[in-house]
Structure 1
Amino acid sequence: MADDAELDRALEAAHLPALVAAMVHLTADASWLKPEWTPVYTPLSRGDTGLPDEAQADIRARAKVAIEAFLAGAPLKAPTPDTATLRKMMDFVAGAPIPETYADFLIDELAISGSSSKDPQFEQPALKAAARRLKVLVIGAGMSGLLAGIRLSQAGIGFEIVESNADVGGTWLVNTYPGCRVDNSNHMYSYSFEPNHGWPQHFSPQPELLKYFRGVAAKYDLKTHIRFETTVESLTWDEARSVWRAELKAKDGRRETIEANAVVTAVGQLNKPRIPQIEGVGTFEGPAFHSAEWRHDVDLVGKQVAVIGTGASAYQFVPEIAPKVDHLTVFQRTPPWGLPVPHYHEDVPEGMKWLLEHVPYYDKWYRFWLFWMTTEGFLPMVKADEGWNGPSTAVGAANLMLREMAAEALAAQVADRPDLLPNVVPTYPVGGKRAVLDNGVWLGALKRPNVELVTNAIIKISPSGVVTADGVEHPADVLIYGTGFTASRFLSGLKVTGRGGRELHDAWAGDARAYLGMTTPGFPNFFMIYGPNTNIVVNGSIIFFSECSVRYIVGALRLLAETGAKAMEVKRGVHDDFNVRVDEANKGWAWGSEGVSSWYKNEFGRVSQNWPFGLIDYWRATLAPNPDDFVLTRQPEPVA
C-alpha cells in the first residue's frame, strides 16, 4: 500500500478527469461528475483542465479518501456502470457532449468489461473444428504481424509468420537512428488489450517500443510460429485447390514451398527507404546512408555532416547529432509543420505510473481521453470548408486557427533569429503533409552556430559534398538521407499471382487500391494490414487501424468456416464503389488539397495512403465482413 506522501505525489500527477471517472467505479457515485468540474481543454495541451486550483485540490482530496479505502480492502462498487452513466462519464472526460452516434464505438473501445468486439468469436464447436483445419501465412513480425498472430492463436486457427529480420519488432527493430521515438502517445500506441503502465516517457524512444513488442511476443509464445531471416519471394494462387503457394528463401539461400488457405501481409507502408533521384547519387566518397539504415560504425564527432530532408526522421535525429558534429548542413525542400507538444521528451511521472497500475479503470479513462482528443476530437481542424475563400495557406476556418496557433509557436522560437522565420513556417495547410511534434529542440538545433539550413534546390551529389542550384558545393565528410520511404509502392518486392495468373502489381499498375485497405478482386483469401488508404494523418494511433483490420480478417476466416467456403473474393463493384468514395472524400481534407505534394500521394497524384473518414467509420466498416460483398466458393479443402 502506498504511503501518504506517495499517494499525494500520484494524485498531483493525475489527469483529473480520468481520475474522476475512476472514482465513479470505486464508489458507484455518479455525483463525482460535477458540472463545475467539467474540464475545458486547450488544443494540443498535455491535458490541462482549466479548473481553478480550489477545484483541483478538492478532487484530489476526495479521491485520496476513496483510494485509501479501496487499498484498505473496500470493494470496487461499480466495475461496469450502466450505459447511461458511461455516457455521462465519456462526456465528462471529453469536456463536451460526445455525439450519440459515437456511443457504441467508444464504449467498445473502453472495453470496461474486459472484452471488446475485437476479440475473436470462435466459441462454437463447429467453428473450432473448422478453425483447426485452416492454415494462415502471415508475412511480417512487426506490430501488425504479431497482432495477427495473437488473434489467430486465440481463434484456434493454425498460422505461421515469416519475418525477414532476425527478431520481432518491425520498424522498431530496424529504425535505430539517434532520437528515434514514437510520435503518438505511448498510452495509446500499444495494443488495447495489452496496456503498459510503465512507459518511461509520454513518447518513448525506440528501445522501449522494441522491448514492449518483444515482451508481447514472449507472452503469447509467438516465436514458436515465426521463421526468422526468411523472405517470401512469391505467392501463387492455386485455383484448382484454392490454396496459396508461397516460395520462401532462407538466409542461407535454401528455398522451400509452403501452402496456406489464406495469406495476411503485415509489412507496413514505411519499410522501403527512398533515395532521391539526384544526379551523382552513389558518387559520394564518404559514408552515405539512409536514416532507416543508420551506420552506427560511422563516428560523426568532429565531422562535416550533410543531411538531405527535413521530415519526421530528420526532425528527430538532427537535434541529437548537431552538438556532436563539427558542422551540420541541413538541406530542406519544404519545412514541416511542428505542432507544439512541450512534453514530447518528458518522462512520465512516477505518480502517474502508480495510478495507472493501482487505481482500477484510471488507465482506461486516461487512454479514452487521449483517444478522443487526438483522434475524432482533433480531426475537424484539418477538414476543408466547402467554398473556402480564405487564404490558400489553410483549407478552412478551423484549419486556419490551428495554423495561426502553430505558426505563432514556431515564430516565438526564432524571435532571436528572424532570418530563419521565412524558412521554418510552412506555406501549405496544416495536415497537408505529415506534421511533427515540436518541443523546441528542432529549431534549437537549427539555431546552433555549427548548423546551416540550406533551402536552395539540390542539383547534384559530388564525390565531396552536395551542390545546390546557386552553384555552391557544400562539403561533407558524411551524407545522411532523411528522405522517407517509397510508401506508395505497396508490397514492392513481393510477387503475388492471383486468379487467372494475373500479378497484383500488374493489376494495380502503380496505383494500389483495395477494399477497406485489405482485399482486392482477383486475389481470393489474400488480406493486407496497413494497405492502401488506411494511413491516418492527425487522428490517432495506427495500432487502432491494425486492430480493426485484424478483427475483420479473423471475421473473414470465420465466414469461411461458417459457410464451408474454400475461398472468398471481394466483388469488383464493391471494391470500385468503395474507392470512388475514398477518392472523393480525400479531396475534402488538407492532405488532398491541390498544390500540396507529399508522400500521401502516388505518382498519379492520387492520395493512396490516407483514410478520409473518421475512425468510427473504419471501426463500423470492419466489425464483420458482409457476405454480400464477396464471391464465396464452397467446399473447403484443408492444407495438409
Structure 2
Amino acid sequence: MTTSVIPGDRSTRAVNAVHDADPERLTAAIDAVSPGPLLMTLVHMTGDRSLLDEFASRLKKARAAEAASAPGEYPAEVAEEVRRRAHAVLSPELVPELHVPDDELFLEMSRVATDDDIGPEYVPYLREQAGFPPLPASEPEHRPAPEGFRVAVVGAGMVGINAAVGLAEAGIGFRVFEASDDIGGTWSRNTYPGAAVDTPSHFYSYSFELNPDWSKFYPTGPEYLAYLRHVADKYGVRDHVELRTRVLGCEWDEQRLLWHVRVQSPGGSTEVYEAKAVITATGILNAASIPEIAGAETFEGVAMHTAEWDDSVELDGKRVVVLGTGCTAVQVVADLAGRAEHLDVVFRQPHWITPERNVVSGVDEDVRWALRHIPYFHQWYRLVTHWFTADKSFQIPRIDPDWNAEHVSCSPANDALMQICLKHLHEELGDRPDLVEMLTPDFPPFAKRIVKDPGFLAAARREDVALHRTTFDSIEPNGVRLANGEFLEADVIIWATGFKLEYLNFLDVVGRDGVTLAEKWDHSRDPRAYLGITVPGFPNFFVTAGPNSAPNHGGGHNVTSEEHVHYAVETLRFLIDRGHSAAEPTVEATDAYNARVDAELDRTVWQHPGTANGYYRNAAGRAWVSCPWRLVDYWTMLRAPNPEDLLLHP
C-alpha cells in the first residue's frame, strides 16, 4: 500500500492580515481582545522591540502597586495604553511587513505577553505549541520509506488522526483501524447532556491546525467532534481509515521482522494486515465502569452510563439519580437541573471544584474576528492561554513535607489553589453549611482530577436537587436504596462513574519470544514503558497515552498526542535512514527511566493515601497515569530517539 499526499501543509501555519478589513470591525476587535497578545502583534508588525521594554516596565510598576488582578491579566491602565497604540498602528490600509522574531526576541515577547518569567528552554516548545511558523531551517535529508514499509494505527480519535497526518507527512504508508462507525474517539462516544472539554478551546487543539472559530472558550463535545472531523477532512485522513473494523490482536514475526495485525471486518470476517510498526491510539479510558449493585436487573426504569448515552430517553420531568461527582457528573447535573422533576446526586468522595468564569461562556464575535484577521494574534492568544493552564501549575501537586505535615494542602502553592476552591464553594453555598461540609474534600487539590465548575454548585442549592454523600446499597424496581438506608425513587439512573482504566489489556499483543504484553504488564496491574511509549520485547510497537505519560498538572491530551506521534515518526525515520528494520528499548534503559519516574512521583500528591479510589492509582497504590515531568521537559525527551537506549534489529 502507498500513502497518497495528504493536503494541508503543517509547516506553513496561516498568518492573517488586517488589509481590506472593515474599519468598524477592526476597532471593535481591538477593544475586545486581550492586550498581551495584541501588544505582540504590534511588535511583529512594527519591528519595534522597544515596546517590550516600555510595557515590561509598566507591568512591573503595576505589580509593585498591586494593580494586577490575576496572573497574566494586564492592569486596566496598561491594557488601555496597548489598545490606544493598536488603534494608532492598525488600519485596513496597512500591509505590514511581519517581523519574525529570533529565539532571543521570542523569549522576551513571551515574557511580556504573559507578564511572567518564562525560561529559555521553553522557546522551541512554545513556538510549536502556540502554532507559529517554524523558523527557516535546513530540514535534514531523509531516505524514502522502503516499499511495503507501512504502519497500523489502532483508533481514529485525537491521537489516531494526528498519527495519520504525521505519517503521511513523513511519506510512510499506513492504515487506521477504528472499531466504531465514526472517527473522533471519546467525542464520538460521549454524547451525554452537557458533554464538554474541560481544557480551553484555543489550546485544546492541534498546534498545526488552529481554529479561530470556537463558539465557546471551553468547547462542547459536539463542537470538538466537528473540529476533529474538519481536521480529518482537510488532511485527507478519512481515505486511510477502516471504520467498523476492530483490531483483535498483533503478533510479532521474528523471521520477517513485522507485525501480523488481526482485524475483524464489518462483516465479521477476520483478516491479517502486515505492518512494520503499530501505533496504538486507543487511549486508556474506553470501557465504561459500571458498579455491580445488587438488584440492578430488577430496575423497571432506564439505567445508562454517560459513555453509552441513549438520546431517545426522555429526562425532562423525570426522577433522575446520578452516581458520581467527577468532571462528567458535574456537567450532567448542571445540564439536567431544572429539567428533571427531581435530581439526586450520590457520591462517595467530593472533588475540588474550581471556579472558571469562561467554562460556559461564548466567544465574542469581535474576538473571533481578531483571531481570524489580526496577524499573529491567534498564536499569542494560544501561547498565553497555554502557559497559564500548563507548566505554570507544575508546583501545585508537589509536596512540601514540612507544610504537608500540618495542612490538608501539600504546599503553599497547593494551598493557594485550595483557598480559591474554598472561596468559590462558600460564595456559592455559604448559606448551606450542610452542602459546604459535604462538598469539601479531605485531600490536597490535584490528588484527584480538578473539576471546573460548569454550574454544578449553583445546581446543588436548588430545591429539586439533592446531594447524598454515600453510595448505592441496592437497586429496587422503582429506585435506589443507599448505604445509609435512605430510598430514592427513580425513573432513570445515570452512571457517571467513569471508565475502567485499560492499558491495552483488551488487545492480544504477542511480542518477541511469544511473550504477551498482558504478561509483561502483569495483565495491566502495573504497566511500565520507556518514555511512556515503548516496551522491551515489542519492536516498533508504540503505545500512545501509555503509563505515566498524562500531564495531570496541566496542559492537555493534545500535547501528549503530538509528542507521542512525533517520537513514533522520528523513530521510524531513524530506522529508515539507518537501514534498520525495527527498534525496541533496552531493559536497562526502561528500568532506569521508570526508577526516575517513581522517585519523582513520590514527591507528588498523586501518591496521597486519601485518594486510593481514583483512577490515577493502580490497585497497589502506585501512581500509574501521571507524568512527573514538566511538559517542556517531556516534550524535549521525545524530540528524537536515543540510539544508546535502543536494541536495533537489522
Please say whether Structure 1 and Structure 2 have the same fold, judged by a TM-score greater than 0.5: yes
Taking only aligned residues, the RMSD between alpha carbons, in angstroms, comes to: 2.1
Counterpart of 1:638 in structure 2 is none
Contact 1:273 1:292 in 2 (8 A): yes
How far apart are residue 389 of structure 1 and its match? 4.5
Secondary structure of the residue that 1:194 maps to in structure 2? Answer: coil
One of 299, 305, 312 as aligned partner of 2:320: 305
- The answer to whether residue 604 in structure 2 is matched with residue 585 in structure 1 is no
One of 200, 203, 217 as aligned partner of 2:218: 203
- The answer to whether residue 649 in structure 2 is matched with residue 633 in structure 1 is yes
List aligned pairs for 1:122-521, cutoff 5 A: 123-124=141-142, 127-130=143-146, 132-439=147-454, 441-487=455-501, 489-509=502-522, 510-521=525-536
In structure 2, how many angstroms separate the alpha carbons of the residues matched to 1:357 and 1:491? 40
Counterpart of 2:546 in structure 1 is 531
Contact 1:303 1:327 in 2 (8 A): yes
Counterpart of 2:87 in structure 1 is 64
In structure 2, how many angstroms separate the alpha carbons of the residues matched to 1:52 and 1:136? 53
Gaps of 5+ in 1: 635-640
In structure 2, how many angstroms separate the alpha carbons of the residues matched to 1:270 and 1:319? 23
Counterpart of 2:623 in structure 1 is 607
The alpha-carbon distance between structure 1 residues 172 and 199, as it changes in their structure 2 partners (threshold 3 A), is same
In structure 2, how many angstroms separate the alpha carbons of the residues matched to 1:619 and 1:84? 20
Contact 1:105 1:616 in 2 (8 A): yes
TM-score by length of 1: 0.93
Counterpart of 2:97 in structure 1 is 76
How far apart are residue 595 of structure 1 and its match? 2.6
How far apart are residue 387 of structure 1 and its match? 3.4
How far apart are residue 392 of structure 1 and its match? 4.0
- The answer to whether residue 610 in structure 2 is matched with residue 595 in structure 1 is yes
In structure 1, how many angstroms separate the alpha carbons of the residues matched to 2:338 and 2:245? 39
In structure 1, how many angstroms separate the alpha carbons of the residues matched to 2:405 and 2:71? 31
Q: May I ask how many residue pairs the two structures share in their alignment?
A: 622
In structure 2, how many angstroms separate the alpha carbons of the residues matched to 1:112 and 1:505? 41
- The answer to whether residue 109 in structure 2 is matched with residue 89 in structure 1 is yes
The alpha-carbon distance between structure 1 residues 513 and 277, as it changes in their structure 2 partners (threshold 3 A), is farther
The alpha-carbon distance between structure 1 residues 111 and 312, as it changes in their structure 2 partners (threshold 3 A), is closer
In structure 1, how many angstroms separate the alpha carbons of the residues matched to 2:532 and 2:136? 22
One of 17, 20, 30 as aligned partner of 2:49: 30
Contact 2:43 2:49 in 1 (8 A): yes
In structure 1, how many angstroms separate the alpha carbons of the residues matched to 2:286 and 2:570? 27
The alpha-carbon distance between structure 1 residues 579 and 280, as it changes in their structure 2 partners (threshold 3 A), is farther
Contact 1:411 1:425 in 2 (8 A): no
How far apart are residue 94 of structure 1 and its match? 2.1
List aligned pairs for 1:541-552, cutoff 5 A: 541-552=556-567
The alpha-carbon distance between structure 1 residues 575 and 332, as it changes in their structure 2 partners (threshold 3 A), is same
Describe the superposition over 1:586-616 as per-residue Cα deviations: whole angstroms up to 9, x where unpaired.
1212222233221100111111111011001
The alpha-carbon distance between structure 1 residues 109 and 295, as it changes in their structure 2 partners (threshold 3 A), is closer
Contact 1:466 1:476 in 2 (8 A): yes
Contact 1:46 1:341 in 2 (8 A): no
Contact 2:253 2:259 in 1 (8 A): yes
One of 626, 632, 639 as aligned partner of 1:616: 632
- For 2:328, the aligned partner's letter is S
In structure 2, how many angstroms separate the alpha carbons of the residues matched to 1:386 and 1:455? 30
Contact 2:128 2:134 in 1 (8 A): no
- For 2:83, the aligned partner's letter is R
One of 64, 70, 73 as aligned partner of 1:49: 73
The alpha-carbon distance between structure 1 residues 82 and 389, as it changes in their structure 2 partners (threshold 3 A), is closer
Identify the range of structure 1 (365-374 vs 380-389) with the bigger mean alpha-carbon deviation.
Answer: 380-389
Counterpart of 2:581 in structure 1 is 566
In structure 2, how many angstroms separate the alpha carbons of the residues matched to 1:282 and 1:565? 56
Describe the superposition over 1:2-52 as per-residue Cα deviations: whole angstroms up to 9, x where unpaired.
33432222112211111111110000001222224438799x988762423
Contact 1:517 1:531 in 2 (8 A): yes
Identity %: 37
- The answer to whether residue 33 in structure 2 is matched with residue 14 in structure 1 is yes
Contact 2:127 2:134 in 1 (8 A): no
In structure 2, how many angstroms separate the alpha carbons of the residues matched to 1:6 and 1:620? 41
How far apart are residue 209 of structure 1 and its match? 0.6
In structure 1, how many angstroms separate the alpha carbons of the residues matched to 2:263 and 2:551? 32
In structure 2, how many angstroms separate the alpha carbons of the residues matched to 1:494 and 1:110? 35
Describe the superposition over 1:122-177 as per-residue Cα deviations: whole angstroms up to 9, x where unpaired.
743xx1143x5410000000000000000100011000000011111111111000
TM-score by length of 2: 0.92
How far apart are residue 416 of structure 1 and its match? 2.6
In structure 2, how many angstroms separate the alpha carbons of the residues matched to 1:85 and 1:165? 47
In structure 1, how many angstroms separate the alpha carbons of the residues matched to 2:469 and 2:407? 22
